[in-house]
Structures are given as C-alpha cells and as structure tokens.
Amino acid sequence: MSKKALCIGINDYPGTQNDLSGCVNDANDWAAALATRGFTVNKLIDSQASKAAMVAGMSGLISGAAKGDTVIITYSGHGTWVPDKNGDEPDGRDEGLCPWDIGSGKVLLDDEIAPIFAHRAAGVRVILISDSCHSGSVTRGDDSDLDPGLPRARFLPPSVWMKAADLPAPRIALLPTLSGLSRSGGDLLMAGCTDTQYSWDTSFKGRPNGAFTYYALKAFAALPASASYNDWFKAISPTYLPTNQLPQNPQIFGTKTARAWKIFS
C-alpha cells in the first residue's frame, strides 16, 4: 500500500492582475503535514502549475495507484466558471480550477477532471482538498490569529481571463462551486466554503495563508492520530470558521464510509 500526494499552490497569475499571497504557503504546509503521515509528496508551485502540468500530475498520480493506495490532491488558488455546454450542470455553469496560465484562457474544468479520476483502479482512495471558491456568512468562530486588514477572495471572474467575445450574457452573479468535482470520481472532497461564498486569501501572524488551510491544519495538529475526516471537519467548523471577517462555511462531501476513514491513512 502506498500513499502519494500532489500539492498545488498558485499565487502568480500572469496577465490577470489578480495575484494571491497565501497559496504557495498553503501547498508547502499541506505537503509538510502529509509527509508526517508517510506520504510521498510532489508539489506544483506557481509557473510549475500550468494546466498541462496539473493534468499530467493528477493523471500520473491516479492512474499509477493500485488497490489499497491512497491519493490526496490539494489545491490552493483561484476558482472560476464557464457556461455549461453539455447540460450536466443544474446551475448552467461548469466549475473550474485556475492554473498558472489561466491568463491564456487555459482553465481546468470539472468536466476535464472527471475522466482523470475515472481512470483509477478499484480500491484506490482519492481525496481532494480545495482552498478556492465556494464560501458563506455567520458571526461566530475565532478571529484571534487573523492579521489586521481585509482578506482577498480566491475567485477569478470570467471577465478577467476570458475573451470578450466568449463572455456569457449578463445574469445574476453566482460563485463557482466544486460540487461538480465531488462527482468526478473522488471519494472525499473537503472545501473551503459553500457555493454562495468565497474562500479567503489572508494573513496570520505575519504569514500569508488561505483561511481554510490555516484553520484546517491548526485543527489537524490537535487531533489524535486515530481521528476520522468527520472528526476533523467538526474540529474546523464552527470552532474556527466562519467568522465575522472570514464569512466562509467549510464543506465536506463523500460517503458515510469515506468520512469515517482515519485522516491521511
């Protein structure tokens, strides 16, 4: 049985004027936490995380896994959406992750991720942890670690990267969700927020991080080694998120069986 992970963090989005600050730290932090649980970890950071490299990294990791193996993919960066063209999305939108080269129109859609996940062998566990858009609002949680100043949303509107001629007609503003990714063949998805919210890029104690990543790893460090994903999720929310300054409700998608798995096992 092997345990392998791919940690993706993108701060630099050339051509968009929408750079982030905490995503590279997120990827490094996830990689360090996974290494402590025996994972072999590869990272794609900034320019390494082109669409082609993300596809190749995910494909190689999943297709190369055998029964009993565990694969974990973490993503920290912008989320976005495009108009749904095949009718498989109730909201009329395909959700996507924003690679480093999104400025060239290269978005990684949930419809493209699904066949990658579908190539896994029977008995392979696939877990996706995403600190991108999604998000929500409530007045509770713990803001004590948060540095002063406003956080930044990890959402890239289509108008930033899509050609004007390809933009959809104006409509009520919605945010992208990764619910489509939860149907892509993975066993478990943990995400930073709901489909009506943002995941926030901010700073804690002078160090940039994603709010969800920071609090997820803070909660993880306090849990016993035997804790399940359900235990972990309950330790994150509502203890840490949402808060007044970070109005995002973390989400967990997966079967009852998957949620009961021991974390990073």
**Single-letter amino acid code for the residue at 35:** A
Question: Catalytic annotation on 133?
Answer: yes
Instruction: Read off φ and ψ for residue 217, nearest 5 degrees.
Output: -75, -30
Question: 39-78 as b/e, with b when 16 or more CB fall inside 10 Å?
Answer: bebebbbbeebbbebbeebbeebbeebeeebbbbbbbbbb
* Direct distance between the N- and C-terminal alpha carbons of the chain, in angstroms, rounded to an integer: 10
80 burial (CB, 10 Å; 0-12 / 13-18 / 19+) is buried
Q: 40: number of CA atoms within 13 Å, CB side?
A: 8
Out of 23, 78, 98, 193, the active site residue is 78
Out of 7, 98, 133, 193, the active site residue is 133
Question: Catalytic annotation on 193?
Answer: no
**Distance between CA 18 and CA 222 in Å, rounded?**
34
Asked if 47 and 12 touch (Cβ cutoff 8 Å), the reply is: yes
Catalytic residues: 78, 133
